[in-house]
Chains A and B, each alone.
Chain A
Amino acid sequence: MTAGAATGRVRIAIRGLRVAFGPKVVLDGLDLDLHDGESLVVIGGSGTGKSVLLKCILGLLRPDAGTIVVDGEDTTRMGSRARDALLRKFGMLFQSAALFDSLAVWENVAFPLTHVGGVARDKVRDVATRKLADVGLAPEVGLLSPAELSGGMKKRVGLARAIAAEPEIIFFDEPTTGLDPIMADVINDLIVDCTRRLGATTLSITHDMASVRKIATRIAMLHGGRIIWSGPVGAIDTSGNAYVDQFIHGRAEGPIQMAVATP
């Protein structure tokens, strides 16, 4: 593994992470560090375990082996209260935005403020409206239900919710999947603007190379359950790694073989 050019203290240190679903080993001794202030993007093909990695860090999945140390605390052995306290440092934008259907848009954005941030109820609505403005949405949108939003608007609201409580570390799970290229670029710009304004550390997973080049300061490539290359975003085109080259150029031929049945 090539060392990245990241600096700053390590916020998340992952060592020997192993996750298997029955006989299928998804992560196989993965090592990865996330440094303070960096924007790390993990790239890799579909089904390589990128989402599993995020779910393990957030405690949504329990790994079979390995450690995940966040700010000096091993999260794999944490009780639920300690994990709740730790999760207050995190924000997360889900691939599907995962907005709560039963709440209005502004209530979705206000959720982390009332449940995590402890903002007084009478001020919550104003703060939620400001957060919606930060992602380019008008106050009227706050009154809508999530079902009334387009895909791009859902992502924006998801982003507003992710940054609402001003978390120290933000995760982005396929932030541009399912969006047209222009809306994808808008979301990328918003991610860069919002995280820079907050000074947050971010970890994103995606296979959209346009998004990678826009939001990453460092890139790590996941393949075969391990990080096979990592380095600064500027070094991606000269990595000298055949797997990385095949992936960033989107070639069917190369060392990465897709399981496709031939007729």
Chain B
Amino acid sequence: MNPVAAIGSVFLDFLAACGRLGLFAAVSVGQMARPPYYPRLILRQVIEIGYFSLPVVGLTAIFSGMVLALQSFTGFARFEAESAIATVVVLSMTRELGPVLAGLMVAGRVGAAMAAEIGTMRVTEQIDALVTLATDPFRYLVAPRLIAGTLMLPCLVLTADIIGVFGGYMVSVHKLGFGPDTYLKNTFEHLEAMDVISGLVKAAAFGFLIALMGCYHGYHSKGGAQGVGAATTNAVVSASILILTSNYLITEAFFAR
């Protein structure tokens, strides 16, 4: 095959996939607004995404906060800037590490589960059964996951921020010899509302993207168990890439001068 044609074919496939995803997202968002609503299904997803992700997100946050304090201390000691550690920890957690790490962990845990569940429903004709029962799969399967993902990620990230700052506090006070009052004062002195808000906006976007990718790849899976496996992998990989890409774009929108 002509190499230029091969590149063109890949590019066209990419554009077609973008179009399909855009259409899927537009239909999903459109159906989120239309009744009937399924509060029980939304609640189930809220528990699945929000409550059951707490341990993994909490663990990630506390160790990230602890490492951040330790690394900052060893690095900043060279410039005698140890007093900036509290600020570095709180700004890093609220602006970047909280949303990105929580997003990546939830993408691995929840995005994969969504793709596997919806993908299995697809290959076992359960989605066809929903349609024959006059139930729109977008409203019944996709909308509750998108709503729960968008609402719960900010809650998880807020929790991760607090736990991460607490991790930094523990290391700084009990290992590095900082005074508790001074550390807390430094933590809140330079923290602005926008630092937390930007992280929560990122979290909402990440939650939407994770659920969208999980549903999209699951909905379009085919070919039995292998297809469901591929959908699961694709959901996690594409959600992770979109999280990192949109993280930059949202950061630029909030903080670029």
Contacts and interface: CB of A to CB of B under 8 A. Distances in A.
Interface in A70-101: 80, 84-85, 87-88, 90-92, 94-96, 98-101
Contact of A87 (B121, B125, B131): B131
Interface stretch (B79-87, B132-140, B182-190): B132-140
With a 10 A CB-CB cut-off, give which of B121, B128, B132 has the most chain A CB atoms.
B132
A85 B126 CA distance: 20
Contacts of B135: 111, 115
B125 A94 contact: yes
A112 B133 contact: yes
Interface stretch (A22-30, A53-61, A180-188): A53-61
B124 to A, nearest CB: 6
Interface residues of B, number: 15
Interface string B99-143: 000000000000000000100110011101111111110000000
B134 A101 contact: no
Given A80-B136, A84-B136, A59 B131 contact: yes
B132 A58 contact: yes
A190 interface: no
Is the interface on chain A under 10, 10 to 19, 20 to 34, or 35 or more residues?
20 to 34
Nearest to A108: B129
Contact of B124 (A98, A102, A115): A98
A50 to B, nearest CB: 15
A95 B132 CA distance: 14
Main SS class of interface, B: helix
Contact of A92 (B120, B126, B129): B129
A194 interface: no
Contacts of A98: 124-126, 128-129
B67 to A, nearest CB: 39
Nearest to B138: A80
A116 interface: yes
The majority secondary structure among interface residues of chain A is mixed
Contacts of A92: 129, 132
Interface of B: 117, 120-121, 124-126, 128-136
A90 B133 CA distance: 8
B133 A115 contact: yes
B32 to A, nearest CB: 15
A252 B135 CA distance: 43
B128 A115 contact: no
Given A94-B125, A98-B124, A116 B131 contact: no
Given A84-B136, A98-B126, A99-B126, 17 more contacts: A58-B128, A58-B131, A60-B128, A60-B132, A80-B136, A88-B134, A90-B132, A91-B132, A92-B132, A94-B129, A98-B128, A98-B129, A100-B121, A100-B129, A101-B126, A111-B135, A115-B135
Nearest to B140: A115
Given A94-B125, A98-B125, A101-B126, A111 B133 contact: yes
Interface string A166-199: 0000000000000000000000000000000000
Contact of A100 (B126, B131, B134): B126
A174 to B, nearest CB: 11
Contacts of A100: 121, 126, 129-130
Contacts of B133: 87, 111-112, 115-116
Contacts of A60: 128, 131-132
Contacts of A111: 133, 135
A102 B121 CA distance: 10
B146 to A, nearest CB: 17
B142 to A, nearest CB: 15
A154 to B, nearest CB: 11
